[in-house]
């Protein structure tokens, strides 16, 4: 097992990579949690891992109930957060009672927001079960739900007390889910670590066959980079925005297509497009978008919108980007690569070039 520490003063916590689900109850001792605990999950994940986790928590002395949210991004909304509040109140939860998010990004974001806002904040623990949640959403304290007018428009910065990752659960993950997570992994290489990008180019087969050592390295390095960025800028005053590489266009695609495309797939397209935009804006050579596109494709991720069947209208994508949370005064900030391993955050980008790229 490998522990990555996210350093945020009194809100610091451990990300335990390679922890065994059956040890969860023991691993949550010493965090000053109350006895009552609610595991929030969806029916699919509950069927696979709910029993093991709940047994382990009970063995650790906790009184455990479970709360089920239907499976899907469309349930990541305020109504389902409210259903969590109601369940907690019916069961007399208090301010020390903890929520445990068992699932992917939808469950983690929704549960985190419920924990942030129930009684003005109760402790919570992330137990991510997808690669995407392990390398991205479970780490760093962004919680929230969608509004019909935009993704993650409602939320809070709220850190978990611990993140427990049992890598063996990735063996049960559908292929597309695994690939979706790889898009975020590739992102870390582009934004902060050229050597990691090389590693991903050279170890494709090991990673995709879920070689345990390769998988642990991929998750660990991703979490290290995210933890480093978040510890320097928790609330996205500046640096943290680098994590949005590929997400500006990616979110616009998701919104315009009503989440028909997987998050990681949309981010993959977004990374390729942002790299092309960087090149056309004169920030980097042609080799950068070529290498990004090649790596994305080698992990069977889409590099353009042809996978959608019909393309969303360019105007609709541009409009959606202007509504993005990261937009300020109507001008979108893009994260653009200068080279593999280094990006800049900039409002200076060529709008005509972006339209051409979206059309192509």
Sites of contact with a copy of itself (CB under 8 A): 34-35, 78, 82, 85-86, 89-90, 92, 94-96, 113, 116-121, 142, 144, 147, 149-150, 152-157, 235, 322-323, 325-330
Catalytic annotation present for 142: yes
For a copy of itself, give the closer residue by CB, 50 or 112: 112
Catalytic annotation present for 184: yes
Distant-in-sequence contacts of 286-294, Cβ < 8 A, 24+ apart? 288/337, 288/339, 288/340, 291/197, 291/201, 291/340, 292/186, 292/190, 292/337, 292/340
The catalytic position among 192, 263, 276, 291 is 263
Residue 328 C-beta: closest distance to a copy of itself, Å: 5
The catalytic position among 73, 177, 236, 293 is 236
The catalytic position among 151, 221, 251, 262 is 251
Catalytic annotation present for 244: yes
Residue 209 C-beta: closest distance to a copy of itself, Å: 38
Catalytic annotation present for 236: yes
Catalytic annotation present for 247: yes
Residue 119 C-beta: closest distance to a copy of itself, Å: 5
SS3 (DSSP) at 4: strand
Inter-CA distances, 88 with 36, 39, 74, 114, 320, Å: 10, 11, 22, 10, 36
Residue 193 C-beta: closest distance to a copy of itself, Å: 27
Distant-in-sequence contacts of 278-284, Cβ < 8 A, 24+ apart? 278/336, 278/337, 278/338, 280/350, 280/353, 280/356, 280/357, 281/336, 281/348, 281/349, 281/350, 281/353, 283/336, 283/337, 283/338, 283/344, 284/336, 284/337, 284/338, 284/339
For a copy of itself, give the closer residue by CB, 327 or 344: 327
Element of type H or E holding 199: helix 194-202
Catalytic annotation present for 279: no
Catalytic annotation present for 11: no
The two tokens of residue 298 are 């080698």
For a copy of itself, give the closer residue by CB, 82 or 306: 82
For a copy of itself, give the closer residue by CB, 155 or 289: 155
Distant-in-sequence contacts of 286-289, Cβ < 8 A, 24+ apart? 288/337, 288/339, 288/340
Catalytic annotation present for 240: yes
The catalytic position among 161, 220, 221, 240 is 240
The catalytic position among 10, 120, 175, 310 is 120
Residue 65 C-beta: closest distance to a copy of itself, Å: 16
Active-site positions?
120, 142, 184, 226, 236, 240, 244, 247, 251, 263
């Amino acid at each position: 097992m490998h522990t990555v520490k996210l350093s945020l003063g009194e809100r610091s916590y451990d990300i335990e990579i390679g922890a065994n689900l059956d040890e969860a109850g023991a691993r949550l001792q010493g965090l000053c949690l109350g006895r009552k605990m609610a595991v929030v999950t969806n029916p699919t994940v509950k069927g696979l891992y709910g029993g093991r986790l709940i047994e382990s928590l009970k063995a650790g002395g906790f009184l455990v109930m479970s709360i089920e949210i239907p499976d899907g991004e469309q349930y990541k909304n305020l109504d389902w957060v409210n259903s969590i509040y109601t369940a907690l109140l019916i069961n007399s939860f208090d301010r020390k009672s903890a929520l445990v998010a068992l699932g992917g990004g939808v469950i983690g974001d929704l549960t985190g927001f419920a924990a942030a806002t129930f009684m003005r904040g109760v402790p919570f623990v992330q137990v991510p079960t997808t690669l995407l949640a392990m390398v991205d959403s479970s780490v760093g304290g962004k919680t929230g739900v969608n509004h019909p007018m935009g993704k993650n428009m409602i939320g809070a910065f709220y850190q978990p007390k611990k993140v427990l990752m049992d890598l063996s659960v990735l063996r049960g993950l559908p292929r597309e889910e695994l690939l979706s997570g790889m898009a975020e992994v590739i992102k870390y290489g582009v934004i902060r670590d050229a050597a990691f990008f090389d590693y991903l180019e050279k170890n494709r087969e090991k990673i995709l066959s879920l070689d345990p050592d390769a998988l642990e390295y991929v998750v660990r390095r991703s979490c290290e980079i995210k933890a480093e960025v978040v510890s320097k800028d928790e609330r996205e005053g500046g640096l943290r925005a680098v994590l949005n590489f590929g997400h500006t266009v990616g979110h616009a695609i998701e919104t315009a297509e009503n989440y028909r495309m997987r998050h990681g797939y949309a981010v993959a397209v977004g990374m390729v497009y942002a790299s092309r935009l960087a090149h056309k804006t004169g920030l980097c050579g042609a080799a950068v978008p070529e290498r990004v596109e090649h790596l994305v494709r080698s992990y069977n991720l889409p590099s353009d919108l042809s996978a959608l069947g019909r393309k969303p209208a360019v105007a609709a994508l541009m409009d959606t980007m202007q509504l993005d949370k990261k937009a300020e005064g109507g001008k979108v900030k893009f994260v653009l690569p200068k080279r593999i391993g280094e990006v800049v955050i900039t409002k200076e980008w060529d709008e005509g070039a972006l339209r051409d790229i979206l059309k192509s």
